Amino acid sequence: MNPLHNSDKSRRQFLQKSALAALGLGLTPGLLASEPPAMEAPLMKRSFGRLGFQVTTLGLGGQASLQWTPEGTDPVAIIEKAYRLGINYFDTSNLYGPSQANYGKAFSNLGLVPGKPNYDPAKRKAIFLTSKTALRFGKGGDDRKAVQGNTNGPAGSKALDDVRRTLSLVFGDGLGNYPAEAYLDMVLIHALGTMEQVDALYEGYHHPDPAAPTIGALAALRDVRDGTNRTGLNPKKEKLIRHVGFSGHSDAAVMMEMIQRDSENLLDGMLIAINANDKQYFNMQYNVIPVAAARNMGIIAMKVFADGAMYSKKAEWSRTPEHVVMGVGSSELPADHLIRYSLTTPGIHTAIIGIGCISDDPARCQLTFNLKHAQVKPGSMNEADRAAAEQLASKSKDGKTNYFQKPYQELTPPREVKAEAVDNGTRITWHTAYAGAAPLDRYEVWRDGKLLSRIPYQPQTTKEPFQFLDRHANGTAGKYVVKVIDKQRGIAEATV
């Protein structure tokens, strides 16, 4: 059952008091509603995992008015203002309609396009541009079965077509051409949702064969990252991208599988849905985010406002300009609490937020407001304040804001538990449990009712299982139980 819906009376009272404090009516000063803080100069930055880049805590999302532009809104001006405010992370996608072309216009004005008279290579190096592809194959395969939706490109497009399309729209003529110096800092495999998609992406990855009828997108993207032609899909040996990653909204287990299969550390970044209603669902913060953090990936938060569903928009995918939220938070659910929640989730480096409108009036400018409230340090929101933010968020649409996320899941037992006889003992192996209401704390191995070992929790970062060797001279095994215990003393177990 969902812990926010089934907590005891004392916990309800605590959360209610914390929620009142968040509205300025109680005692938790970290959540008091207030004027936006003074802008830091320079903006706060965080080390972006292993990517070797200092990233601002707020990035510009590539949707909202950059994709579905309401009448009277200039998307190019939004991009230019974000740049001039010091934001250095920019997000777009082949799925986002005119978003990439809008970036092309803005970047041309800002001196970020190679070959233009005003081009400044140092300015280009100082920003981080990420685009996305929803295509799972570099060659062959049927992307209609692998993912719902497609790119805006022609039928039959593959992952590298999307890379080149982005380069043309942002840095070139929009007709397929781009300057030799153009590159993308990262390309994400977008909206990963099923194990079948993971299978498709990794096809041919470890042993690429140009003669193979089907090659997954990862092998193809590696070629244009490294300037190689192992797949036969990069005959000019172009180096078009710096990093490869993936994004996901729905299923933490699928995203964990994606990382665990990456035996060559190709995946440098992860874009993840994370907001204050995360724990109402199969949560990201206790499952996949720790795995990505343990691999030192750059981790980007998205859906901070649940794509506007925390406020006026219905809890459904945005499709039209009418879906773009043009306001700045609400008195019932201050937007700054949601920004702080996502950015203080352990492992997060930056958050992208789509902008509906900008204004010279700070009270109406979403970009200025969001940026000011993104000036927070990791760990600066304590557990009481996080709980208060969760309680406030749970009142928005009764907590049913994250339409993109799988339903709540309780703590699961360790998975695939096995016992194997070896010399002078038994080897017990298992794969990670999935966390529910609380972070995992430890595993315990028991035999015939006797505790043999307590093993502190560590994220499972590869497909190698956890293991424990029970040495016993007679070589006979008993009944083994592997338990997982979370930090709220929840227990789940598997017997072998």
The H or E element containing residue 167 is: helix 159-171
Asked whether the beta carbons of 299 and 269 are under 8 A apart, the reply is yes
More confident residue, 157 or 85: 85
Using N-to-C axis directions, what is the helix angle for 366-373 and 335-343, rounded to 10°?
50
Which residues touch 455 (CB under 8 Å, ≥6 apart)?
442, 443, 444, 445, 466, 468
Average pLDDT, the chain: 91
The gap from C-alpha 246 to its chain's centroid, in whole angstroms, comes to 8
Encoded amino acid at 61, one letter? G
Query: What pLDDT, on a 0 to 100 scale, did the predictor assign at position 472?
Result: 82
Query: What pLDDT, on a 0 to 100 scale, did the predictor assign at position 33?
Result: 40
Find tokens 């929009």 and name the residue: 174
CA nearest to 157, candidates 130, 90, 195, 149: 149
CA nearest to 336, candidates 273, 269, 277, 276: 276
Residue 362 tokens, joined: 């700070």
Query: What pLDDT, on a 0 to 100 scale, did the predictor assign at position 153?
Result: 65
Question: Strand, coil or helix: what is 367?
Answer: helix
Q: Which alpha helices (DSSP H) does 178-287 contain, by range?
A: 195-202, 217-226, 252-260
CA distance 272 to 186: 15
Share of the chain above pLDDT 70, in %: 89
pLDDT in tens, 33-55: 434 445 556 899 999 999 999 99
Which residues touch 63 (CB under 8 Å, ≥6 apart)?
96, 99, 318, 354
Query: What pLDDT, on a 0 to 100 scale, did the predictor assign at position 423?
Result: 87
CA dihedral 285, 287, 292, 294 (to 10 degrees): 100
CA distance 35 to 50: 35
Q: In this model, does residue 18 exceed pLDDT 70?
A: no
Residue 126 tokens, joined: 């100082």
- What's this model's pTM, rounded to 2 decimal places? 0.91
Asked whether the beta carbons of 335 and 373 are under 8 A apart, the reply is yes
CATH of 415-495, one of 2.60.40.10, 3.30.365.10, 2.60.40.420, 1.10.3720.10: 2.60.40.10
pLDDT in tens, 131-187: 999 999 999 998 765 454 445 667 778 999 999 999 999 999 999 999 999 999 999
Superfamily of structural domain 9-399 = NADP-dependent oxidoreductase domain (3.20.20.100)
DSSP string of 450-474?
A: EEEEEEE-----SSSPEEEEEE-TT
Query: What pLDDT, on a 0 to 100 scale, did the predictor assign at position 36?
Result: 47
Question: Strand, coil or helix: what is 161?
Answer: helix
Question: Strand, coil or helix: what is 122?
Answer: helix
For the chain, the domains span: 9-399, 415-495
Q: In this model, does residue 255 exceed pLDDT 90?
A: yes
Query: What pLDDT, on a 0 to 100 scale, did the predictor assign at position 209?
Result: 97
Which residues touch 273 (CB under 8 Å, ≥6 apart)?
248, 249, 250, 284, 301, 302, 303, 402, 404, 405
* Sign of the alpha-carbon torsion through 77, 80, 81, 82: positive
CA nearest to 153, candidates 97, 214, 216, 113: 97
CA distance 131 to 140: 22
Question: Strand, coil or helix: what is 80?
Answer: helix
